[in-house]
Amino acid sequence: MRQSDIEKEMVELGRSRYWSAVNKARDLGIESTTLPGQRLLSEAVELMGEAVRLWLKEAKDKPGKLHRAHPYLEQLHPEVVAAITARCILDSISLHRKILSTSIHVARLLEDEVKFRWLKEEEPSLWRQINRTMDRHRSYETKAKFIKSTAKYHEIEFDGWPKKESVSVGMICIELLRQSTGIIEIATRTDTRGRQSTMVRPTEELLGWIKESHGKSEILKPVLLPMVEPPRDWGPQREGGYLNSSFRNRGLVKTRNKSYAEELTLLDMPKVYNAVNTFQRTGYVVEPKLVGVMKYFWETGLAAGGLPSMEDRPLPTKPLDIDTDEDKRRVWRKAAARIHFENERQQSKRLQVAKVLYLADRFGDAPLWYPGQLCFRGRYYPLPYFLQPQGPDWSKALLRFHRGVPITDDNGAAWLATHVANMWGHDKLSFNDRVRWVEENDAKLQRIAADPFRHMEWTEADEPWHFLSSALEWSAFLEHGKGFVSNLPVAQDATTQGLQIYAKLLLDPVAGLATNCLPRDTPGDPYRDIADTVIQKLETVVKDKLRESDHEYAAKWLAFGITRKTTKRQGMTLTYGSVFYSCKEYTNEWFYECLAEGRENPFGEETYRPCHFLAELIWESIGEVVKSARVGMDWLRLVATICMDNDVAIQWVTPNGFLVRMDYPHMGKCDVQTTIGPVVRKHRLRYPLDRKNRRKNINAMCANYIHSLDGVGGLLGEIVELCSQQEIKDILPVHDSGSVHAQHAGTFAGCVRQAAVTMFTPDLLKDLWQQLTLQLPSGVHLPEPPTRGNMDLTQLLDSPYYWN
């Protein structure tokens, strides 16, 4: 298997996927949805929109009788007229329609748009009812028919446009498209029988452009696969990744800003390049036994550890009197809608599983490497899809390091045992207790490793597939003893990385202790602290009985059970600038997941109000548990606000020399959406305006700054630099986690702690303040950063659970 053959296969797979989509679009008469079609559409909408506007004005100002098409066209915005006309005609290019039928079709779509907009504005409640069920109709025709029949049922009749006027409207639109864009022509042809027909045809220039555009587009998106040879290293003036130059057009940093990409190549950031190249040089192999188990579970419909079942969940049985009992019908529809939603989510997961297993078979026992790319914040991502080191847990568990490293001492063995316990779910125990748990369960682990089909206790682990993989490794180690060559990635995870970073930035001893930046006997758990605070608030509501509805909700939530899982996502995303809306959404998701697991809804069929009530308590509790993080976030948002007030682009250089540039411009009107038709994307109109998007820049400041400090431009890059000095060559990074060989895990833990002390000893918020101050106009002052606390950062060197 040669890399050159793999890269040829990537091109062919991408080309096949591209033309499959194009041919499907042509068959459905929606050619405007293809890449060339979208570009043409954006061009046509902009140009024709202006032409429609001028025609309406000239027709109105012209002396004499008003053009018969004018009263109909003026009912819609010129750009909507342009969007509908351009989409209709572009979709007709491959259908060879005559001009009369094309003009009638354009007019009918415009007429429908007028009618449906009136219905939406004048009958909002009926429109909401229609909109709730419209997605079950796939095509435009069936949607339009459904709307008209529903309106008729409610005794709403629409007056149709007269045929003569409709033809006139369509003809005007076709002619305006022809004049303004030049992409179509109106030609009369004579057939073999001497009959003449007038057609709307693409110009020769357009056909040539489409052919050339398809030729370019078909190779723009190859199916990215793992490499079977080490990738090319990145450097200041050197492109890395795939060996074929045609795949090296992405750049080290994913960005559309060419000046930013060019500026990055001029920066001195050796630690960034070293980290990226280290990750790319880390080779992997697929674990065949785990693949066999996963295939069995997949083919037999068993679900474990996030692996979806091959079968949809059945809908609830309809009540016998569903047609006559409105309450029962409403209850059934709510329950069915939730199952429909879950089944749709499972469909995409099934496709992902199938592709992962295909790739595992495709590459077999070949060594694999993953070229990567950075986002503008400096976070690292592998480029290939599906079977890759940052995939879902069940996918990532299939991969092991290609290189093996012998376990030669008790320290290496202890780290392997710790990893086994962590995967079971004992990551909140002390290290000694984790090792002891593994030793006490040696027999069970060996039974599972010998026959995971018969001994399926592993499916009860927190991370079943990772646990099974680690059980296989532990059993092999016990059989061989010291000297066993291990290639299992042994993970160490940060404790709520975002909260840890704020604690180190502000030297907050309270947050430092809660997030394990300071030594403690057992691991701290901020998510558990938030959950405990929520429980206390619920108990207070039950005790005080302030409001009957709140009292009922609180009592039922206490009975249902509040755990750290209830509050984890809300607490985890707070430090990245999440708001109450996100908190509410994550609370809903957690509850729906519980119901999907078969737990009974204590609120009957009600979900929204109970979840909203709980989300409010979670939001309050987060603010009480992580006060220091909110201080830092408030300052960052204030700084971003001042920059926006002075029209200053926010950018800074991270400790490792990586340039972060926030680029959220205010965009012009970027799309035209008809009432029931698809969105028509107008790419030419999505150009950045002179002003910046104030809201996006302010809201993104916290997340971008924190991520810039945890990526290769910050902590992760510093960790890899220290690991390189210790001859640690294989590292699997997942943002706030790192995996190395068991024998190297102790050294890696030391590098993680030393990197944190080295990087956060300087006042990084003060450094950011100075960088941004230099970018602001003279006389504009930023508020001083929050005062740092008295946490002794060197104690982090002795904190056993900082990463664990």
Q: Which of 209, 212, 217 is nearest to 184 (CA)?
A: 209
Average pLDDT estimate for 104-124: 90
Delimit the domains of the chain by residue range: 3-217, 405-486
- In sequence order, what are the residues at sequence separation of 6 or more whose Cβ sits closer than 8 angstroms to the Cβ of residue 28? 139
Which carries the bigger pLDDT value, residue 461 or residue 338? 461
CATH code, residues 405-486: 1.10.287.280
Question: How does pLDDT run across 372-431, given as a tens digit for each residue?
Answer: 999 999 999 999 988 999 988 889 999 999 999 999 999 999 999 999 999 999 999 999
Length of the chain: 804
- The Cα diameter of the chain in Å comes to 100
SS3 content of the chain, % helix, strand, coil (to 5): 60, 10, 30
Based on C-alpha coordinates, what's the Rg of the chain?
31
Q: Which of 764, 760, 762, 765 is nearest to 802 (CA)?
A: 760
Question: How does pLDDT run across 410-422, given as a tens digit for each residue?
Answer: 999 999 999 999 9
pLDDT of residue 324: 82
Residue with tokens 């707070």: 574
Helix (H) or strand (E) holding 666: strand 665-667
**The two three-digit tokens of residue 454, written as one number:** 């018969």
CB atoms within 10 A of CB 324: 9
**The two three-digit tokens of residue 107, written as one number:** 């007019």
> Does the pLDDT value for residue 208 go beyond 80?
no
Question: How does pLDDT run across 715-743, given as a tens digit for each residue?
Answer: 999 999 999 999 999 999 998 899 999 99
Question: How does pLDDT run across 675-721, given as a tens digit for each residue?
Answer: 555 555 443 444 456 678 888 999 899 999 999 999 999 999 999 99
The answer to whether 588 and 719 have CB atoms below 8 angstroms apart is no
Question: How does pLDDT run across 577-587, given as a tens digit for each residue?
Answer: 666 778 888 89
> Does the pLDDT value for residue 25 go beyond 70?
no
pLDDT of residue 96: 65
Would residue 771 be called left, alpha or beta, if left means φ above 0 and alpha means ψ between -120 and 50 degrees? alpha
Question: How does pLDDT run across 193-205, given as a tens digit for each residue?
Answer: 777 888 888 888 7
181: amino acid identity, one letter:
T
> Does the pLDDT value for residue 280 go beyond 50?
yes
Burial of 658 (0-12, 13-18, 19+ CB in 10 A): buried
Could you tell me whether strands 732-733 and 737-740 are parallel, antiparallel, or unpaired per DSSP bridges? antiparallel
Handedness of CA 341, 342, 347, 351 (dihedral sign): positive
Beta bridge mates, 665: 692
- Gap between the Cα atoms of 482 and 476, Å rounded: 11
Which carries the bigger pLDDT value, residue 369 or residue 45? 369
- Model confidence, pTM: 0.74
Q: SS3 letters for 700-750?
A: HHHHHHHHHHHCCCCHHHHHHHHHHHCCCCCCEECCCEEEECHHHHHHHHH
- Cα 439 to Cα 433, 480, 719: the distances in Å are 10, 16, 31
Domain 3-217, architecture per CATH: Orthogonal Bundle (1.10)
Burial of 515 (0-12, 13-18, 19+ CB in 10 A): buried
Would residue 386 be called left, alpha or beta, if left means φ above 0 and alpha means ψ between -120 and 50 degrees? left
Q: SS3 letters for 223-255?
A: CCCCECCCCECCECCECCECCCHHHCCCCCECC
Buried/exposed code over 456-495 (b: 16+ C-beta within 10 A; e: otherwise): bbbbebebbbbbbbbbbbbbebeeeeeebebbbbbbbebb
- Gap between the Cα atoms of 49 and 40, Å rounded: 14
> Does the pLDDT value for residue 4 go beyond 60?
yes
The answer to whether 390 and 261 have CB atoms below 8 angstroms apart is no
The answer to whether 734 and 390 have CB atoms below 8 angstroms apart is yes
- DSSP at 470: H
